Amino acid sequence: MTDISDIDQNNVPAHVAIIMDGNGRWAREKGHERVFGHLHGVEAVRAALKGATELGVKYLTLYAFSTENWNRPKEEVEALMDLLVQTIVREVKDLDKNNVRLRAIGAIDALPDSCRDELKAAIESTANNTGTNLILALSYSARWEIIEAVKSIVSSGINPEEVNEKVISDHLSTKDIPDPELVIRTSGEQRVSNFLLWQIAYAELYFMKKYWPDFREVDFQEAIKEFQKRQRRFGKTAEQ
Ligand code: IPE
Ligand code: IPE
Ligand code: MG
């Protein structure tokens, strides 16, 4: 176990969101097909979840598949969907044992039937767990989510003058989830790629060079340590 004694337990973010990037490059650099990288990404997911549960992070959101990722070659999309089903089926018992509640955001109904069914079954079977919430962003993009929210606000007949931040937040797929305080992205890219645009308004961003399959618990802990060094101002002056 890594040393977490210099992490301030009173300043652990309630919600950490991760853009798991670099699987393809990781595999290609090793002379393998991109899918090999996705396969090894699962190990990193376990590590991130362990890091989060150990520190008492209440919500961990993982960007697993974006709306735009549907535009990838058919073989890669199919491989990712197969991997998703297999992983859910294999991991659900452990999630339950560790009191993890599985959730999902995104256009879940756009997933292949087997994925959607296994996902829904796993979500239901862990629904009463009270530990870390593991939220998978699947077929998700923030702009998709905002469009859905606007549609639902308009169709509910709310008057324009009644629309405020709370109304919008309440119509997003994250409605009962606090905003992420920390966003981690692996692979060296420094962008948000259509992830939780509304919710990360004041999140701290942490970019690391490692590719996702190399991400381990210690990397999660390093990110938390870095978060604890940041001064969050929310628009106030540094002295306030
Ligand atoms: C992240 O790794 C996984 C998904 C987006 C599904 P990538 O597949 O984007 O890998 P790179 O960024 O091309 O290396
Ligand atoms: C973001 O990674 C989406 C996920 C991690 C699921 P991408 O690899 O799709 O993002 P871009 O294309 O580099 O911005
Ligand atoms: Mg990528």
What pLDDT digit, counting tens, does each position of 217-229 carry? 999 999 999 999 9
Q: Which of 3, 6, 11, 21 is catalytic?
A: 21
Can you list the positions of beta strands (E) in 67-181? 101-105, 133-140
- pLDDT reported for residue 179: 98
State the average pLDDT for the chain: 97
pLDDT surpasses 90 at 157: yes
- pLDDT reported for residue 2: 59
pLDDT band at 187 (very low <50, low <70, confident <90, very high): very high
The model's pLDDT over 112-121, given as tens digits with 9 standing for 90+, comes to: 999 999 999 9
pLDDT above 70 covers what percent of the chain? 99
User: Could you tell me the fold of the domain covering 12-226?
Assistant: Undecaprenyl pyrophosphate synthetase (3.40.1180)
pLDDT above 90 covers what percent of the chain? 97
- The first and second tokens of residue 121, run together, are 């079954």
Average pLDDT over residues 197-211: 98
- Measured in Å, residue 141 CA sits from the centre of ligand 2 at 10
**CA of residue 24 relative to chain centroid, distance:** 19
Known catalytic residue: 98? no
pLDDT surpasses 60 at 132: yes
Domain positions in the chain? 12-226
- Measured in Å, residue 214 CA sits from the centre of ligand 2 at 17
Task: Evaluate: CB of 65 within 6 angstroms of ligand 2.
Answer: yes
pLDDT band at 3 (very low <50, low <70, confident <90, very high): confident
Nearest ligand 1 atom, CA 34: 8
Mutating to test ligand 1, I would choose from 19, 20, 21 the residue with most ligand atoms within 8 A of its C-beta, which is 21
Contact 15, 59 (CB under 8 A): yes
The CA distances from residue 72 to 75, 106, 170, in Å, are: 8, 18, 32
The model's pLDDT over 34-93, given as tens digits with 9 standing for 90+, comes to: 999 999 999 999 999 999 999 999 999 999 999 999 999 999 999 999 999 999 999 999
pLDDT surpasses 80 at 11: yes
pLDDT surpasses 90 at 240: no
Which of 83, 89, 113 is CA-nearest to residue 102? 89
Known catalytic residue: 176? no
Give the count of alpha carbons within 13 A of 98, CB side only.
20
Q: Which amino acid is at 45?
A: V
